[in-house]
Amino acid sequence: MTTLSETPALPDDSRARRNVWVLVIAQAVLGAQMPMIFTAGGLAGLSLASNPCLATMPISLIVLGSMLTATPLSAAMQRWGRKAGFFIGATGGILGGALGAFGLYLGSFPVFLLGSLFTGIYMSAHGFYRFAAADTASDAYRPKAISYVMAGGLLSALIGPQVFKLTAESFVVPFLGTYFAVIAVNLVGFLLFPLLDIPKPPRASATEDKGRTRWQMLTTPRIAVAVICAMVSYALMNLVMTSTPLAVVGCGFQKGNAADIVTAHVLAMYAPSFFTGHLIARFGVERIMGAGLAILAAAGAVALQGVQLENFFIALVLLGFGWNFGFIGATTMLAGAHKPSERGRMQGLNDLLVFGGVTVASLSSGGLMNCSGGTAVEGWTAVNLAMIPALVLAGGALIWLVLQPKDRAA
């Protein structure tokens, strides 16, 4: 019989909870720029680009910038800590907003694209908020910490599109005010990030085990499936969301309708985060990831039923829910599958691969939407049919993992 004195003490997550609060605010305020830019980027690109097939190129360059900086940014965080990496990200967001505004003022598509590339530095840093939440959390609190930080995006979903509505036509040059607002929200990071209390990871000594190589980690079944499901969840969300403003306006609705649909979508991306961690703890991460993939498939099915406003709303809400379950599930699986000494290599590699997939999806989105058939309806159909192969890949990988012996999958 275990006495009270022999009962193991519960882990103290007070430091982790403080860090989570800071990261939630950062997610809400700095994260608001993402729905702003994703709504404005495609519409501004359509007005600046000489070829409508290139309309989503600004969004693609944001994702490309994120992909290119994920590995060096992760290495910087491994060496200098999370705060240094987040400061770099906010600085990139400021430069991206300034160059975007300058490109709009000049009417220069190349300058606007350069701003998008710098914005990718912020997007890359933003992706590490979820990992930072796990750094000081116990095993029991980790999925909840990740979920709570992702839930901060709920406020960004409310703030971003409303700021877009207020600023899109606030200057003679459309969307110029939106990019000034982007600069402002990034400045908030310089007040927030000093409040983080995340120790720098210890450097391994010459005799200490530095962990597995990148290839060894990628060939670990649990890590491989986590990366694949994260790639597919994020890429499909981006594929459809990037084309949504163009599809909504192309089907005869207003820019305000497009902003409202993006608002509903981003709310659906982050609202489930209040309970996703609890669901993972109760039902297991594999089941929640599987549910996410099924909901993404449902989103595509609804979108293919028609181009009425309610179809757009329902499809984009389901897209948000599916992304939440799939991406938070994959993040939780990955965070528990590597050691602290492997963090810099694995997290950077993960985001390199994830945003590499998102870059391909974003580039494909514009071509499918604007260059597949002669109408917006045909383009929107092509975008949603393109989800099928990726869903088959991720679903097959997850089923394969579940069928693996536990000692092989770990």
* Number of neighbours of residue 410 by Cβ within 10 angstroms: 12
pLDDT digits (tens, 9 = 90+) for 43-73: 888 788 777 777 778 888 888 898 888 888 8
Spatial separation of the C-alpha atoms in residues 160 and 32, rounded to whole Å = 4
Contacts of 283 (CB under 8 A, 6+ apart): none
Give residue 70's pLDDT: 82
Looking at this protein, which amino acid is placed at residue 337?
A
Contacts of 140 (CB under 8 A, 6+ apart): 11, 281
Its CATH architecture, for the domain 13-199+211-409, is Up-down Bundle (1.20)
Average pLDDT, the chain: 85
* Number of neighbours of residue 197 by Cβ within 10 angstroms: 14
More confident residue, 247 or 207: 247
- CB contact at 8 A, 132 and 113: no
CA distances from 157 to 50, 67, 259 (A): 31, 23, 10
- Band (pLDDT 50/70/90 cuts) for residue 410 is low
In the chain, domain spans: 13-199+211-409
- CB contact at 8 A, 292 and 269: no
- Band (pLDDT 50/70/90 cuts) for residue 152 is confident
Tokens in use for 308?
Answer: 């009425």
Looking at the predicted structure, is the pLDDT value of residue 15 above 90?
no
Which phi and psi angles does 41 have, rounded to 5°? Answer: -60, -50
pLDDT digits (tens, 9 = 90+) for 225-245: 999 999 999 999 989 988 888
Tokens in use for 273?
Answer: 């985060």
Spatial separation of the C-alpha atoms in residues 399 and 293, rounded to whole Å = 12
Tokens in use for 203?
Answer: 């450097």
Burial of 298 from C-beta contacts in 10 A (0-12 / 13-18 / 19+): middle
Tokens in use for 235?
Answer: 């890429």
pLDDT digits (tens, 9 = 90+) for 291-346: 999 999 999 999 999 889 899 999 999 999 999 999 989 988 887 777 766 776 78
Spatial separation of the C-alpha atoms in residues 303 and 243, rounded to whole Å = 12
Helix (H, G, I), strand (E, B) or coil at 358: helix
- CB contact at 8 A, 344 and 334: no
